[in-house]
Structure formats: C-alpha cells, structure tokens
Amino acid sequence: MNEVESKIAIVTGAIRGIGKATSSRFKREGITVIETDILPDQDRNDTYEESQSDFKNQFLVHDVTEEKSWKEVVGQVLNRFGKIDILVNNAGIGTLSDFEEEDEKGWETMLSVNSKSIWLGIKSVLPSMKEQKSGSIVNVSSIFGASGGFGKSASYHASKGAVSALTRNAAVRYAANNIRINTVSPGFIKVLREEKAIENAGDKMSREIIFRTPMGRWGNASEVASAIHFLAGPESSYITGAELFVDGGWMAA
C-alpha cells in the first residue's frame, strides 16, 4: 500500500495553474484532495453546491481572506474525513505596480490575499493537526519574496516576503507538535496569469526573464507541484522551516 494513500489534503487556488497541477499530482499519488477556490471552475464537468453543503468531487468555494470561510472549509473536511494531513496554501494574486503606481486599496488587497490568507490557513488547521500530532503545511511564496526582482511589484514583494518569514516562524513554533511547515518559492512559471502579466509588460521583460534565468526557460506548473509534493510527504520528514526555490537557478545567479 502507498504510504500516503489515506492522506487528506486541502489545496487552495486549485482551479488553475500551480494549484491545479498540485491537486493532480496528489491525486495520482493516492491522496484525497479537497480543492478550493474563490470562484467555481467553469471548465469542470461535475457540479457542486456553492453553499458548500456537500462534497461532490471534493471542491469547495472558499475565500482565503475570510476567517469564516476557512472555518467552514476546515469544519466540513473534518466532519467528512476526520482529519487534515496536508494543507497547501497556494491561492494568490500578483501585479506589476511599483511604489508610485500602487494605491492603498491595491496594497491592502495584495497583503490580504497573499499574506493574511497564509496566517488564516495555518491557524485554521493547527487545532486538528495538534490533536493528531502530525501535519504538513506547504506555503507557496515566490522568488520575489527574497529578491528585489525588477524593482516593480512592490506590494507583491512585500506580501511574499511575509509568507516566507511567517513560514519560518510557524515552523519553529510547531515543530514539537510534529507539524512541518515549509515554503516553495517559484520563479517564472508558465501559467496563464503570469504569462498575461508579462505580456502586458512588453517583450523587454520577457527577454530579461530568460536572460536572467540560468536554465534559460520558464518553468512548468508540474515542476512546482513536484516540489510541493516532496515537502508535503514523508520523504521530507526531517525538513521544516525550509524555503525551496523552483526557479531555474534565478536565486543562485
């Protein structure tokens, strides 16, 4: 029997991109995945209740910025499965606005979606993970949480830097409870949202991304999903508080 066959995982922002790739990878490994997102997936062939009244195909509508929504999701998962083994805090947004272009509303939204959501997610699953004396949480940050990037995306950099710092803090706090908390920080990954943002920024940025990436290419969502799967599972049992860059060498250059 596969060691992770009976594991229960929540993956946020699971409709597309890295979240979707992670959910698919987990399912292939026999993990039961509850996919959450703020909007229904129009491409899905199955149906579900937006009121979150049932678990058809394990999808729940979820606003990661609201504690009430986290309590509803976690409560339903525990009622249905009795435990939560893995949480992947993947949901997030991004912009290219710099200091002078950003407004206060944009700043607050970015920090709420990208940073507050991580705090709420960790906080919401901790009671059950502490009770079962085990758990693995993987937070998705970014290379821009640990570098100055292009000098743009001020609020995005701040929000992702907060994710990385919060991960280290929580990892130290809950290591004694056998709860491991790690970060995966992608570089430039071929997902629709990121490609559109770079396309809007123009060819110069696209060329610079390739030039500054030692491996000379964009990454694939499946490559990030593999890193998340590793940190979520038993093969990384002595790793906590780590930040794994999946960036084609960007941070090493």
10, 86, 130 from 58: Cα distances, Å = 9, 15, 24
Catalytic residue among 48, 156, 174, 238: 156
What pLDDT, on a 0 to 100 scale, did the predictor assign at position 55? 54
156 is catalytic: yes
7, 8, 107, 201 from 95: Cα distances, Å = 35, 32, 10, 10
Q: Residue 250: inside a domain, yes or no?
A: no
Q: Residue 247: inside a domain, yes or no?
A: no
Domain count, the chain: 1
Q: Residue 42: inside a domain, yes or no?
A: yes
HEC per residue, the chain: CCCCCCCEEEEECCCCHHHHHHHHHHHHCCCEEEEEECCCCCCCCCCCCCCCCCCHHHEEECCCCCHHHHHHHHHHHHHHHCCCCEEEECCCCCCCCCCCCCCHHHHHHHHHHHHHHHHHHHHHHHHHHHHHCCEEEEEECCHHHCCCCCCCCHHHHHHHHHHHHHHHHHHHHHHHHCEEEEEEEECCECCHHHHHHHHHHCHHHHHHHHHHCCCCCCECHHHHHHHHHHHHCHHHCCCCCCEEEECCCHHHC
What pLDDT, on a 0 to 100 scale, did the predictor assign at position 200? 57
Structural domain containing residue 38 = 8-191+219-242
- Euclidean distance between CA atoms 231 and 251, whole angstroms: 19
Among candidate residues 144, 157, 7, 150, the one with its CA nearest the CA of residue 86: 7
What pLDDT, on a 0 to 100 scale, did the predictor assign at position 53? 41
Q: Residue 199: inside a domain, yes or no?
A: no
What pLDDT, on a 0 to 100 scale, did the predictor assign at position 108? 97
Q: Residue 206: inside a domain, yes or no?
A: no
Within 8 A by CB and 6+ apart from 196, the residues are: none
Q: Residue 33: inside a domain, yes or no?
A: yes
Query: Tokens 């409870």 — which residue?
Result: 177
Question: For the chain (length 253 residues), average pLDDT per consecutive 10?
Answer: 69 95 96 92 44 60 98 97 98 90 94 98 98 98 95 94 98 98 96 62 76 94 98 98 98 95
Domain containing residue 86: CATH number: 3.40.50.720
Q: Residue 235: inside a domain, yes or no?
A: yes
What pLDDT, on a 0 to 100 scale, did the predictor assign at position 95? 85
Within 8 A by CB and 6+ apart from 145, the residues are: 157, 159, 160, 161, 162, 163, 164, 185
- Euclidean distance between CA atoms 114 and 225, whole angstroms: 18
Q: Residue 213: inside a domain, yes or no?
A: no
